Structure formats: C-alpha cells, structure tokens
Amino acid sequence: MKLMRYGAKGSEKPGLLDDEGQVRDLSRLTPDITAAMLTPDGLRKLAEVDVKALPVVANPGRIAPPYSGMGKFICVGLNYADHAAESGMPVPAEPVLFTKAISALMGCNDPVVLPQGSVKSDWEVELGIVIGATARYVSEGDAMKHVAGYCVVNDISEREYQLERGGTWDKGKGCDTFGPVGPWLVTADEVPDPQNLDMWLEVNGRRFQNGSTRTMIFGVAQLVSYISRFMTLYPGDLISTGTPPGVGMGCKPSPVYLKPGDTMRLSISGLGEQSQTVHAWNPELIDN
C-alpha cells in the first residue's frame, strides 16, 4: 500500500494511492493515518479494504506527511562512503546518529524556509525507514519484522550551524521546514529489497545527487538493530538513513548552497517524488 494524507495543515485527511495512481479517500474508515495504525495488525486491517470501493479524490491539494504521531525523527550521518569522502570525514566504524526536531517535519512539497542568517543550507535525499513494531535490542535477523514501510526524506541541513558552531549536529538539522517527508509511506511488502533503490536530487533542474541504497555502509536491518540498542523504537518512529554524494557542501571547485527561489526535486524508486521551493525567512510560511 501507498498510504498518504492530504489537505491543509490541521485539516489533513487519510488516503491511499491506488494502482492507477489515483488518490482514494480513507476518511470513512478512519479520521487519520496515525502511528498506532502502522503496527502489523493495523496494516493488515488496511490491506483488507476494498480499494475500488473508496471514493476517488480528484484534487487532493496539499500532500501532507504520510502519517501523524511521529515520536522520533532519527537520522544517520555519513552512511555512504563517497559522501563521507566529499565531506572530508572518515568512514564511520559505527553508525553516526543524530536527531531532527519533530517541528522540522513537513509535507513533501511544502515551502522550505531558510532560518535567519542562513548562508550554508544544503540538501540530502535519503531513504526513510518507518517503524511498525516496537523494537528494543532486536537482532539483525529480526529487524525487518519491525519495519512498517519506507518513504522519501530530504534531510535539509544548515552546514554552518551543523559543523562550525560547536556542539552536536542537531542544531543544523532541526530547523523549521528542514524535514520534508513523503509523498507516501510505502508498506514494506511493496519494497522487497530496500538495498536496491535508485535515488536522485536536482536543484533548479541540475542533477546533483544520483545514487543508490546499494552503496549504504550500514543497511536497513543493521540500522534498526543498532539503533534499538540505544533507544526503544516505537511505531511511527522514522529513521533517515543517510545520503549519497552530491550535496552542495561537496561541490567543486566551491560549495553550492540553497538560496531563496531555488527549487529542489528528489525521488527514490517506487517511493514517489518531492518538490520544494526555497524561501527567505518568513514565519507565515511555516505556520500556515
């Protein structure tokens, strides 16, 4: 299934994408797609729905984050060796973990608003893992049983805040609007091999990133198992798994960073496409 939510902020409706690419309205069955519905039992019940009997949504409008109630937005840094190289950092021996603020979460096509004074905001197309069953000290062999599905994430990052101002990476990662997710949550049964997905990102029509999850250092099962040793993972928690090379910081002969008016497009095979326009600081674009 391709689960999704659509509508204005605060008035989102639940839906799914059918095999013909039409949005179907789920609101007769549930008022929302919540983290609690992403458990194996919850997804099993949704899979039993007669999709053709659901109303078609002719104009869904805004595409919202694909579910509500995300508890944790966990990210993995430097998970592609060639991205580590372009960043001038060593390949990690263990996964590098940090978090994005939940307030960074936004719909896949919502405006990206640069924080005040930002001069080094950057892009990162990433595979997102959505947890569906509570995971605590799980083995790699059992890890995939805890995955509800996958989604596209743009891990937007302010590099000056992240790398030049001391402390952890979090303050360069959690700015408002810096976490576009979606358009869909694609359930795990429709992604037989998450380690074989092509991914790309363009800025103003220029292809900067062109990679594949095949080259991840730590794969999906490894990450779920590893992270579950340090924190309990609950249904709806999202793990963003790192980015391939081609970020603005790594451009030669000089870095390229986002500026107002830029447009990003990004996609992962089978998981849909995002598109965001970059804006100067404007709190109204964040709140509305």
Task: Give burial (CB, 10 Å; 0-12/13-18/19+) of 116.
Answer: exposed
User: Would you state the pLDDT for residue 120?
Assistant: 98
Q: Give pLDDT tens digits along the chain (288 positions).
A: 999 999 999 999 999 999 999 999 999 999 999 999 999 999 999 999 999 999 999 999 999 999 999 999 999 999 998 888 888 878 889 999 999 999 999 999 999 999 999 999 999 999 999 999 999 999 999 999 999 999 999 999 999 999 999 888 899 999 999 999 999 999 999 999 999 999 999 999 999 999 999 999 999 999 999 999 999 999 999 999 999 999 999 999 999 999 999 999 999 999 999 999 999 999 999 998
Among residues 115, 126, 258, 110, which one has the least CA distance to residue 201?
Answer: 126
Q: Please list, residue by residue across 50-80, b when 16 or more beta carbons sit within 10 angstroms of its beta carbon and e when fewer do.
A: ebeebeebeebeebbbbbbebebbbbbbbbb
Is residue 158 a contact partner of residue 95, using CB atoms and an 8 Å limit? no
Quote the pTM value: 0.97
Output the CA–CA distances (angstroms, integers) from residue 203 to 126, 247, 278, in the order listed.
15, 10, 10
List the chain domain ranges: 70-287
Largest CA distance in the chain: 56
User: Would you state the pLDDT for residue 87?
Assistant: 80
Assigned superfamily of 70-287:
Fumarylacetoacetase-like, C-terminal domain (3.90.850.10)
What sections of the chain are H helices per DSSP?
A: 40-47, 81-86, 140-143, 159-163, 170-173, 220-227, 283-287
Tokens 């458990």 belong to 39
Query: What spatial distance separates the first Cα and last Cα of the chain, rounded to whole Å?
Result: 29
CA distance 20 to 10: 28
Spell out the residues 6+ positions from residue 101 whose beta carbon is closer than 8 angstroms to its own: 73, 170, 174, 175, 179
